[in-house]
A and B are shown apart, each in its own frame.
Chain A
Amino acid sequence: MTEQHRPNDTPGGQQAGQSHAKHHHETGPAAEETAAVVSVDTAGGAMEPSAVPASAQSGKLPGGPDTLLRRIFTGSGMVSVLAVFLALVIGGLLIASTDTRVATTAGYFFARPTDFLAALWNAATRSYIALFQGSVFNPRGNGLAAQFAPLMETLTIATPLITAGLGVALAFRAGLFNIGAQGQIIVAGILAAWVGFALHLPLGLHLLLVLVAGIIGGALWGGLVGVLKARTGAHEVILTIMFNYIALYFLRYLLNTPAFQRPGESNPISPILDPSAVYPQIFGTQYRLHLGFILAIGATFLVWWLLNRSTVGFEFRAVGANPKAAQTAGINVSRSTILVMAIAGGLAGMSGVAQVAGTEKVLTDGVAATYGFDAITVALLGRSTPWGTFAAGLLFGAFRAGAVQMQIQTGTPIDIVLVVQSLIVLFIAAPPLVRAVFGLNPRRKKPARAAKNTKAATTGGAA
């Protein structure tokens, strides 16, 4: 039984006080299963069977999420904020380490340490100021419009991140690890683009049809995963990865067929979408920001409502948190699995539409860029809550938008932003590390038996 009582270092994304509780209860099963005798009376308390080994119980169920993954995805928002901060600090140090002035001053560090520290500070802050200027507000801009251009660019880039992130987050709340946003964006892009350039319809109706086609495309691609999972028990991670490849190569194939290839062009690129099929630019033509962003706000609200105010969302959350109890309460787990994957795919599909009808206006094999994968990070950072995902999408949009300006102004490579993004994920995945850095770890001499009464409290409801 030592397993149960050993201090745990498992990543646990919980408020400090509760994290012990969870550990205590979630490390138990291994030991308990080893002792697999008949299941036993719980009297006595200490060895209370944990709720976790549901998989060990009779009956197979789709969708019981891996608990570790679950904790990472639904931990506290505080850890997210601290993780971002920490990643920025380390990113700053990395930037500074490539700076020549820092290197020079380091040479006489012991003679005049202040020079070195000043250089260090300057190098890091210069880059981050450039990053800020490139993503939010550029005071050197010519007029207010130009000064706010970076912000508009941030919102533009954030749009597909937000909707695809919502797709990943929603699926995760239902216990499914949806890595398939990439493929869903691509399929949505194919359908939306085709409707956009092949059909010629009146203004308004055309765009509506483009949007609907995209959402349906994504929903089918996601829903198909749900069906396969529910019917055959195949794991959604493997399914979605494979579906990403299928979508990508299918797109490449299509772009070399007459139906999709631009006439007179040998490159794999589609015709430009009809003007009636593209999103209007919200703040005039000088910005790329388009209607898709407004729709992303709407989608965020819709997902919030769905999760917290609708019976469908109640089912998703119940299935995600405890599929066995959900099934016992009469919830159709298979139906939930299919439905949530379809809705998640539809949300990712909105990203595909934003790409082809918003920013790109054509279909290429780079239509999804890496938005589908970044969406996973966005959902992770947003703790799988709708508004958290929204905020995380904005942040990542800002990183992307600002990185270019940063490179131009300070010569800091764009890649540093990717490093910062990766560090954020790393820290989110290791909350004890983050808490240790900030001295927030509760003293843990021996894990709590007190836990008994405070166990389990992942973010259950509200966004």
Chain B
Amino acid sequence: MVRVLKLELRGITKRFGTLLANDHIDVVVESGQIHCLLGENGAGKSTLMNVLYGLYEPTEGDILIDGKAVSFRGPGDAMAAGIGMVHQHFMLVPVFTVAENVALGAEPTKAAGFLNLDETRRRIREISDQYGFDVDPDAMVEDLPVGVQQRVEIIKALVRNAKVLILDEPTAVLTPQETDELLDIMRQLKAGGTSIVFISHKLREVKEVSDTITVIRRGKVVGSAEPTASTTELASMMVGRAVSLNLDKAPATPQEKTFEVRDLTVIAPNGQHVVDGLSFDIARGEILAIAGVQGNGQTELTEAILGLQERVSGSVTLDGKELLGRSVKDVLKAGVGFVPEDRKVDGLVGTFSVAENLVLDLYDKPPYAKGISMSPAKILENAKARIDEFDVRTPSAAAAAGTLSGGNQQKVVMARELSRPLRLFIASQPTRGVDVGSIEFLHRRIVAERDQGTPVMIISTELDEVMELADRIAVLYKGKLVGIVPAGTSRDVLGLMMAGIHPDEHAHSQPAGSRPAATSDHAEGVDHD
């Protein structure tokens, strides 16, 4: 039995200039507990953990281990004290084996400096067997699924004798099934005596696995909750006001189908078919949600529709007009509103003002421009109206868009795209990194657009969001359509589909990835028009 330790953060304050990221935070992680830090993006959870992991020096306050104050000068000190951290972005070298990755930073050597990985391999097998990780020490990391890579990160921490494991948003990259597996692993680690600090904003997981929940809002601990608290209660604590998590949208009244995709295929520069023979339609007044784990062709699908992809075949028609082969400008002109998945890279010019960003794809149309002469007055006028309408929190319309919070940046993109008459609205990850309060608002705007009779396509990797918004759900796996199912399909079924297994085949336990497209053609109970 490993020695367990009790971790205490007392009065931790972290100040960056005038910004108070952590304000006298007290957290006690009892040994052998799963302690959840719940809070919105930017609430200060990650700052707190970076303080704990030695990446930041606290402005005030103490870290106590078993009652003794310690100070960490860097992650090395924290590791030595038994604290391990699994970052949201894995710190693995893709072309190294598992053993090499685990040894990295503390490589055991034989005489004359030769690497000795045998000991590392042995430890990996030991840990892997103990917790049922099923990790081969000699596998190349880049060949492993994301869920397994995450386990390698956990092994890395355990090999260094971590007694407290910090997991920073660990489920963000996982399929629902992988998430469940991770939650199991967490329970086992706990049983083995490891304490876990679990950072998340996903209420369902938090409730499922936590022993104690500490809620952080704007850098302060606003309270703790039992895992038995309702999701609504937890959400209200996070946001600081009552939130309704249920959208209560009216049922869709689909009209004629104006958007049709037929045999859409996108070939990546490396020859891979990243979108592979997709066919679907969206009716006016209907929301089709495309579900799937990230990297299964969603990005390429939207880019192909918009005209941003080069090697595309098939057909995409809007109101009977072909969109493929046209310039982005033409596609936008045809009435497509597009919210890209990564607003910072594709949706906004960070150094441009909010006002300029609000006309980023309208700058050359009247009334914002006459000929090539732009009208700053009209642009400002538009900005003021949009800022009001979408409640964008910005110091002014002239503030650089990059200085706004994620939620407000998203509102800028959404406001811009919804500010013109649309024939099709595509929103990719519409609420990623957006605070709970804004999510509600943005969701309502999307539904409002649907209710105006616009076909809406939502691409989301968050199953909750998909289930919330969708009138129908299409699931993508490896660029192929696993199937289209009605709203209300259970989380379990969707989870299986996201792993490439069609529900009908599940009975036969087909391995992931086997003939998903062929399957969908013969699936029953699946909407296929």
Residue ranges of A at the interface with B (Cβ–Cβ < 8 Å) = 1-2, 5, 17, 31-32, 34-51, 54, 57-59, 309-312, 314-315, 317-318, 321-322, 324-332, 442, 445-446, 448-461
Does B261 touch A at the CB level, under 8 Å?
A: no
If the complex has contacts A37-B90, A325-B346, A329-B361, are A460 and B50 also in contact, measured as CB distance less than 8 A? no
If the complex has contacts A328-B306, A453-B19, are A321 and B91 also in contact, measured as CB distance less than 8 A? no
* Inter-subunit contact B348/A325 (CB<8 Å): yes
Name which residue of chain B comes closest to A24, CB basis. B16
* Inter-subunit contact B349/A312 (CB<8 Å): no
Does B240 touch A at the CB level, under 8 Å?
A: no
Q: Which of A43, A58, A460, A461 is within 8 Å of B432, CB to CB?
A: A43
Q: Which of B50, B338, B372, B432 is within 8 Å of A41, CB to CB?
A: B432
Measured between beta carbons, the chain B residues less than 8 angstroms from A442 are: 17
* Inter-subunit contact B403/A42 (CB<8 Å): no
CA distance A328 to B337 in the complex (A): 11
Does B342 touch A at the CB level, under 8 Å?
A: yes
Name which residue of chain A comes closest to B306, CB basis. A328
Q: How far is the CB of A310 from chain B (nearest CB, A)?
A: 5
Measured between beta carbons, the chain A residues less than 8 angstroms from B295 are: 38-39
Q: How far is the CB of A329 from chain B (nearest CB, A)?
A: 4
* Inter-subunit contact A44/B88 (CB<8 Å): yes
Q: Which of A44, A312, A453, A458 is within 8 Å of B46, CB to CB?
A: A44
If the complex has contacts A43-B432, A330-B361, are A35 and B47 also in contact, measured as CB distance less than 8 A? no
CA distance A34 to B432 in the complex (A): 23
Does B57 touch A at the CB level, under 8 Å?
A: yes
Measured between beta carbons, the chain A residues less than 8 angstroms from B346 are: 324-325, 328
Q: How far is the CB of B219 from chain A (nearest CB, A)?
A: 11
* Inter-subunit contact B89/A461 (CB<8 Å): no
B 79-93 contacts with A by CB, 8 A: 87-93
B 115-166 contacts with A by CB, 8 A: 146, 149
Please give the number of chain B residues whose Cβ is less than 8 angstroms from any Cβ of chain A in the complex.
83
Residue ranges of B at the interface with A (Cβ–Cβ < 8 Å) = 14, 16-19, 21, 41-42, 45-47, 49-50, 55-57, 74-75, 87-94, 146, 149, 168-169, 172-173, 199, 201, 268, 293-295, 299-300, 303, 306, 308-309, 327-329, 331-333, 338, 340, 342, 344-353, 356, 360-361, 363-364, 369, 372-374, 376, 400, 402-406, 432-433, 461-462
CA distance A454 to B404 in the complex (A): 7
* Inter-subunit contact A450/B364 (CB<8 Å): no
* Inter-subunit contact B92/A327 (CB<8 Å): no
Measured between beta carbons, the chain B residues less than 8 angstroms from A322 are: 345, 348-351
Q: Which of A37, A317, A328 is within 8 Å of B347, CB to CB?
A: A328
Q: Which of A17, A37, A48, A455 is within 8 Å of B92, CB to CB?
A: A37
Measured between beta carbons, the chain A residues less than 8 angstroms from B300 are: 58
Measured between beta carbons, the chain B residues less than 8 angstroms from A51 are: 344-345, 350, 402
Measured between beta carbons, the chain B residues less than 8 angstroms from A59 are: 303, 308-309
* Inter-subunit contact A44/B364 (CB<8 Å): no
Name which residue of chain B comes closest to A58, CB basis. B299
Q: How far is the CB of B1 from chain A (nearest CB, A)?
A: 32
CA distance A445 to B364 in the complex (A): 46
If the complex has contacts A39-B295, A57-B345, A327-B328, are A48 and B433 also in contact, measured as CB distance less than 8 A? yes
Measured between beta carbons, the chain A residues less than 8 angstroms from B340 are: 328
CA distance A59 to B310 in the complex (A): 9
If the complex has contacts A309-B376, A445-B57, A449-B21, are A43 and B172 also in contact, measured as CB distance less than 8 A? yes
Q: How far is the CB of B177 from chain A (nearest CB, A)?
A: 16
Name which residue of chain A comes closest to B405, CB basis. A453
Q: How far is the CB of B380 from chain A (nearest CB, A)?
A: 12
Q: Which of A31, A310, A322, A327 has the most CB of B within 10 A?
A: A322
CA distance A331 to B300 in the complex (A): 19
Measured between beta carbons, the chain A residues less than 8 angstroms from B360 are: 318, 325, 329
Q: How far is the CB of B200 from chain A (nearest CB, A)?
A: 8
If the complex has contacts A44-B199, A46-B47, are A328 and B374 also in contact, measured as CB distance less than 8 A? no
* Inter-subunit contact B352/A45 (CB<8 Å): no
* Inter-subunit contact A1/B87 (CB<8 Å): yes
CA distance A314 to B432 in the complex (A): 28
* Inter-subunit contact A460/B89 (CB<8 Å): no
Measured between beta carbons, the chain B residues less than 8 angstroms from A50 are: 344
Q: A57-B342, A449-B14, A455-B350 are in contact. List 5 more A-B contacts (CB 8 A).
A: A2-B74, A309-B374, A311-B363, A314-B374, A324-B346
If the complex has contacts A1-B55, A330-B329, A448-B16, are A44 and B172 also in contact, measured as CB distance less than 8 A? yes
Q: Which of A1, A326, A446, A453 is within 8 Å of B403, CB to CB?
A: A453
Measured between beta carbons, the chain B residues less than 8 angstroms from A457 are: 351, 400, 402-403
CA distance A444 to B42 in the complex (A): 21
* Inter-subunit contact B303/A454 (CB<8 Å): no
CA distance A376 to B378 in the complex (A): 36
Name which residue of chain B comes closest to A51, CB basis. B344
Measured between beta carbons, the chain B residues less than 8 angstroms from A37 are: 89-90, 92, 94, 146, 149, 173
Q: Which of B14, B90, B402, B462 is within 8 Å of A35, CB to CB?
A: B90
CA distance A49 to B350 in the complex (A): 14
Name which residue of chain A comes closest to B266, CB basis. A58
Measured between beta carbons, the chain B residues less than 8 angstroms from A317 are: 349, 352
CA distance A321 to B146 in the complex (A): 33
Measured between beta carbons, the chain A residues less than 8 angstroms from B376 are: 309
Name which residue of chain B comes closest to A326, CB basis. B349
* Inter-subunit contact A17/B17 (CB<8 Å): yes
* Inter-subunit contact B349/A318 (CB<8 Å): yes
* Inter-subunit contact B17/A450 (CB<8 Å): yes
Query: 8 A-B Cβ contacts within 8 A?
Result: A1-B87, A38-B173, A43-B41, A44-B199, A315-B363, A324-B346, A331-B329, A457-B400
Q: How far is the CB of A322 from chain B (nearest CB, A)?
A: 4
Q: How far is the CB of A292 from chain B (nearest CB, A)?
A: 26
Name which residue of chain A comes closest to B173, CB basis. A40
Measured between beta carbons, the chain B residues less than 8 angstroms from A329 are: 328, 332, 360-361
Measured between beta carbons, the chain A residues less than 8 angstroms from B308 are: 59, 327-328
Measured between beta carbons, the chain B residues less than 8 angstroms from A58 are: 268, 299-300, 303
CA distance A292 to B306 in the complex (A): 47
* Inter-subunit contact B168/A47 (CB<8 Å): yes
CA distance A54 to B340 in the complex (A): 14
CA distance A302 to B405 in the complex (A): 36
Measured between beta carbons, the chain B residues less than 8 angstroms from A451 are: 16
* Inter-subunit contact A458/B351 (CB<8 Å): yes
* Inter-subunit contact B17/A448 (CB<8 Å): yes
Q: Which of B93, B172, B356 is within 8 Å of A461, CB to CB?
A: B356
Q: How far is the CB of A305 from chain B (nearest CB, A)?
A: 9
If the complex has contacts A39-B295, A44-B46, A47-B46, are A456 and B402 also in contact, measured as CB distance less than 8 A? yes
Q: How far is the CB of B266 from chain A (nearest CB, A)?
A: 10
Name which residue of chain B comes closest to A48, CB basis. B433
Measured between beta carbons, the chain A residues less than 8 angstroms from B46 are: 44-47, 449
Q: How far is the CB of B211 from chain A (nearest CB, A)?
A: 21
* Inter-subunit contact B172/A40 (CB<8 Å): yes
Measured between beta carbons, the chain A residues less than 8 angstroms from B173 are: 37-38, 40-41
Measured between beta carbons, the chain B residues less than 8 angstroms from A39 are: 294-295, 342
CA distance A32 to B293 in the complex (A): 20
Measured between beta carbons, the chain A residues less than 8 angstroms from B373 are: 309-311
Measured between beta carbons, the chain B residues less than 8 angstroms from A456 are: 350-351, 400, 402-403
CA distance A139 to B19 in the complex (A): 56
